[in-house]
A = this chain, B = another copy of it.
Amino acid sequence: MNPNDEHGHVIEVADRLFYERGIQAVGMAELRREVDLPLKKLYALFPSKQAIVFAVLDRRHRIWTAGLQKKIDDAADPRSKLLAAYDYLADWFAEDSFRGCAFINAFGELGSQSPDIAERTRAHKESFQQVLARLVADAGGDPALGPQLALLAEGAQTTAAISGSPEAAQQARQAAGILIDAQLPART
């Protein structure tokens, strides 16, 4: 396994462990065991646990954003593109491993201790807002619609995580449809 593979492998495994059980609950010794690398090599690849956490969050952001964009690109018309976000959530919530938004979890766990984690979380959510705002603008809708749709998506993520049920995605999608129809110009 070359260094790049090892680097990526550590991040993948750490992501799974942190997401399943929380960041503080996973120690470096356990991570070392799961990736099957000497502790020394782990510290050669990353200077600290914090660096691994940041790498995990950055990867999460990239994957999440790319997956969302694909759903949007696959949608035909502006209304469908806006609703695509909730289809993306539905797919996500249906995964066995779903346990809420990793950023929200990390923020709740360490946001008050680590300005870096708080900032990464803020940036992640802000980027989602920007995606929605752009779609709303492209569709000629009321600028207020973007943040409203974002609230539904955020609420669905926490609700699905806490309730353990994926139905929040459909509820959010239905509500979004109503908000869109009320604030987007009817298609000619």
Contact = CB atoms under 8 A, between A and B. Distances in A.
Given A104-B104, A178-B178, A22 B113 contact: yes
A112 B22 contact: yes
A147 B125 contact: no
Interface stretch (A1-9, A53-61, A150-158): A150-158
A21 B109 CA distance: 9
Interface string A123-153: 0011000000000000000001001101111
Given A24-B24, A178-B182, A159 B152 contact: no
How many copies the complex holds: the figure is: 2
A151 B125 contact: no
Mostly, the A contact residues are: helix
A161 B157 CA distance: 15
Contact of A162 (B25, B107, B148): B107
Contacts of A108: 22, 100, 104-109
A122 B104 CA distance: 16
Contact of A21 (B113, B126, B158): B113
Contacts of A162: 103-104, 107, 111, 118, 121-122, 125
Contacts of A103: 162
Contacts of A182: 178, 182
A151 B155 contact: yes
A20 B108 CA distance: 11
B144 A172 contact: no
B154 A159 contact: yes
A158 B25 contact: no
A127 to B, nearest CB: 12
A163 interface: yes
Contact of A150 (B147, B155, B183): B155
A183 B174 CA distance: 12
